[in-house]
Structure 1
Amino acid sequence: MLFQFSEAYGVERVGEWKVFLAEFTTLQKMFCKLQVSVDSEQ
């Protein structure tokens, strides 16, 4: 699936996808930290 995706869109698109995944993971971690801080305040 991912290989066909990279064949169709090219390496630069895969690079964009990796950047998007990295940003999404960072956002998720930040959100988890927010949740933890909110829980500890209550």
Structure 2
Amino acid sequence: EEAVLKDQDLENAVLDADYLKAIRLAFELRKPHRLFNLFSDIC
């Protein structure tokens, strides 16, 4: 359940363009592909 809530937080952070929070959550959730996409979006 906690992972589901963090995943929702990750999606909300991306939608809000809160990239720092999104990157932190992607690390915590061990989602390297999502993390790569976030860095690609920023650059």
Q: Is the shorter-chain TM-score for this pair beyond 0.5, marking a shared fold? A: no
TM-score by length of structure 2 reads 0.39
Bigger Rg over Cα: 1
- Using CA pairs below 8 Å that are at least 6 residues apart, which structure has the higher relative contact order? 2
